[in-house]
Structure 1
Amino acid sequence: MKALVLSGGAGTRLRPITHTSAKQLVPVANKAVLFYGLESIAEAGITDVGMIVGDTAAEIEEAVGDGSQFGLKITYIAQERPLGLAHAVLIARDYLGDDDFVMYLGDNFIVGGISGLVDEFRGNRPDAQILLTRVADPRAFGVAELDPSGQVVGLEEKPDRPKSDLALVGVYLFTPLIHEAVRAIEPSWRGELEITHAIQHLIDSRADVRSTVITGYWKDTGNVGDMLEVNRMVLEGMDRRIDGDVDTASETIGRVVVEEGARIVNSRIVGPAVIGSGTVISNSYVGPFTSVAENCRITDSELEFSIVLRDSSIQGVGRIEASLIGRHVEVTPAPSVPSAHRFVLGDHSKVQITS
């Protein structure tokens, strides 16, 4: 069995971060979202991974390499532009051959991994198996319709009037029959080859398409709010570890990770929080659900429920919360401006000034 990991896409909902960085490499608890998915694939006993890459291919390849750090063997497959999930399957045909495979969207996060799902698929081997979860607003997702027995009878992509609240999670398992389906469909109104249309083709052809409704944690980390929420959830599961230097004037409370080479000076860190190597926190407060990456400087400031990427500095700005701060960012107070009034007054004007 192989894996097909999708790591292309522009990440428009995470701009401006993704103007200069691949969305799959934005860190959660100081580790790229993509890495969590690759670790889940390796834990499921899959070693051969085809990775779909686009404009950010060089950055993805630099971060992931040949996959050996995850116990994987990575083959990169270039997609000239994002033309849909089914298009990714189409261009990966030669790599996938006649093997079954799991397709994993690289910006998705699933607690508990996919080992159970892969084992279930290997044991039953339906033609396709999809993951579903209940969401508050299914209009932003692919949506599945089930009959009373739980059988998948229909799929729609981002419908205006969803027939259910069951959204497709970004993990799919297929036999080689899917290759026939992706060749049979036409582009949608979005100009993309939709995987929902390909799976619907299988359903219409009376193929064995099964679903699993998951109740655990899943997020598509496509926007800042979801990134911060996943960061919060991962941090809650971390154990306390102080490998860096915390001076006697500082206090660390709860599940705090201070990586080797980090320094905490006259500051208070309240977990869950993680401080990356080479980072210096001085005369500051870092509150719960905060990840500060490596080689940052936090001085005379307060920070909570936020993600700070590497090589950034925050100095003397009071309180920051619910924020995603990119790499090599400098946040400082605005220079003070003398108070003054400026007028252009016509004849016979009357002006009253109270300050």
Structure 2
Amino acid sequence: MKALVLSGGTGSRLRPITHTSAKQLVPVANKAVLFYGLESLADAGITEVGIIVGDTAAEIEEAVGDGSKFGLQITYIPQDRPLGLAHAVLIAREYLGDDDFVMYLGDNFIVGGITGLVEGFQANKPDAQILLTHVPDPRSFGVAELSESGQVIGLEEKPEHPKSDLALVGVYLFTPAIHDAVRAIKPSWRGELEITHAIQQLIDDGADVRSSVIHGYWKDTGNVVDMLEVNRTVLESMDRRIDGEVDDASETIGRVVIEEGARIERSRIVGPVIIGSGTVVSDSYVGPFTSVAENCKITDSELEFSIVLQDSSIAGVGRIESSLIGKHVEVTPAPGVPSAHRLVLGDHSKVQIRS
């Protein structure tokens, strides 16, 4: 069994971070989201992985390499433009051959991995299996309609009036039957070859399409709010580890990870928090659910529920929270400007101004 990992796309919902970085490489608890997916595939016993890459191909290839650090054999498959998930299957036809495969969206995050899903698919051998989860607003997702017996009877892509609250999670399992289906469909109104249309084609052809509803944690990390939420979830599962330097004037409380080479000076760190190698935190407070990457400087500031990427500095700015701060960023106080009121008042006016 092979895997097809999608790591193209523009990451428009994570801009401006993704103007200069691949969205799949934005870190959660100081590790790229894509890496969690690759580790899940390796844990499931899959070793041959094709990665669909687009404009950020060079960055993805530099980060992942040949896959050996994950126990994988990586093949890169270029996609000129993001023309839909089914288009990714179409262009990967030669690589996939006649093997069954998992299609995994590189910016998705699933707690607990996919080992059980893969084992069930290999044991039962349906033509396709999709993963579903209940969501409060399914209009932003592919949506599945199930029969009373739980059989998949219909799929829609981002419907205005969803027939259920079951959204497709970004993990799909296919036999080679999907290849005929992706060749049979036409582009949607968005100009893309939708994987929901291809799966619907399988259903219409009488294929065995099954589903599993997950009740655990899943997120599409396509926006800042979800990135921060995934970061929180991962940090909560960490064990305390202090490999860096913490001086006697500092305090670390709870699940705190201080990587080797990091220094904490006259500061208070309240976990869950991770501080990357080479980072210096001085005269500051770093509060729960915060990840600070490598070689950063946090000085005379407060930081909570945030992600800070490598080589950035935050100095003298009071409190920052619920933030995603990119690489090589400098955050400093604004210059002081005397406060003043500007007034245009008519005759006989009365004005009260609080000084």
- TM beyond 0.5: yes
Question: Aligned partners of 2:338 and 2:2: how far apart in 1?
Answer: 65
Question: Aligned partners of 1:230 and 1:141: how far apart in 2?
Answer: 19
Counterparts in 2 of 1:133 and 1:343: CA distance versus 1, 3 Å: closer
Question: 3-state SS of the aligned residue for 2:58?
Answer: helix
Q: Report matched runs for 1:77-96 at 5 Å.
A: 77-96=77-96
Using the size of structure 2 for normalisation, the TM-score is 0.97
1:116 equivalent in structure 2: 116
Give the total of aligned pairs.
354
2:164 equivalent in structure 1: 164
Deviation sequence 1:314-333 (CA, Å, 0-9, x none): 00111111100000011111
Report how far residue 254 of structure 1 moved: 0.2
Q: Which runs of 5+ in 2 are unaligned?
A: none
Question: 3-state SS of the aligned residue for 1:3?
Answer: strand
Report how far residue 337 of structure 1 moved: 1.4
Q: Report matched runs for 1:224-239 at 5 Å.
A: 224-239=224-239
1:15 equivalent in structure 2: 15
Question: Aligned partners of 1:137 and 1:333: how far apart in 2?
Answer: 39
Deviation sequence 1:237-290 (CA, Å, 0-9, x none): 000000000000000000000000000000000000000000000000000000
Report how far residue 190 of structure 1 moved: 0.3
The question of 1:248 aligning with 2:248 is answered yes
Q: Report matched runs for 1:211-226 at 5 Å.
A: 211-226=211-226
The question of 1:281 aligning with 2:260 is answered no
Question: Aligned partners of 1:133 and 1:8: how far apart in 2?
Answer: 24
Q: Using the aligned pairs only, state the percent identity.
A: 83
1:208 equivalent in structure 2: 208
Question: 3-state SS of the aligned residue for 2:168?
Answer: strand
Question: Aligned partners of 1:272 and 1:142: how far apart in 2?
Answer: 34
Question: Aligned partners of 1:51 and 1:197: how far apart in 2?
Answer: 22
1:98 equivalent in structure 2: 98
Q: Report matched runs for 1:138-217 at 5 Å.
A: 138-217=138-217
2:128 equivalent in structure 1: 128
Question: 3-state SS of the aligned residue for 1:210?
Answer: strand
Report how far residue 339 of structure 1 moved: 3.8
Report how far residue 39 of structure 1 moved: 0.2
Question: Aligned partners of 1:64 and 1:39: how far apart in 2?
Answer: 11
Question: Aligned partners of 1:215 and 1:334: how far apart in 2?
Answer: 46
**Partner AA of 1:184 in structure 2:** A
1:68 equivalent in structure 2: 68
2:48 equivalent in structure 1: 48
Deviation sequence 1:151-180 (CA, Å, 0-9, x none): 000000000000000000000000000000
Question: 3-state SS of the aligned residue for 2:5?
Answer: strand
**Partner AA of 1:332 in structure 2:** T
Question: Aligned partners of 1:140 and 1:60: how far apart in 2?
Answer: 26
Q: CA RMSD in A?
A: 1.4
Counterparts in 2 of 1:349 and 1:27: CA distance versus 1, 3 Å: same
Q: Report matched runs for 1:314-329 at 5 Å.
A: 314-329=314-329
Deviation sequence 1:123-148 (CA, Å, 0-9, x none): 11110000000000000100000000
Using the size of structure 1 for normalisation, the TM-score is 0.97
Question: 3-state SS of the aligned residue for 1:277?
Answer: coil
Report how far residue 342 of structure 1 moved: 6.3
1:258 equivalent in structure 2: 258
Report how far residue 343 of structure 1 moved: 7.5
**Partner AA of 2:326 in structure 1:** G
2:337 equivalent in structure 1: 337
**Partner AA of 2:292 in structure 1:** V
Report how far residue 344 of structure 1 moved: 8.5
Question: Aligned partners of 2:43 and 2:7: how far apart in 1?
Answer: 19
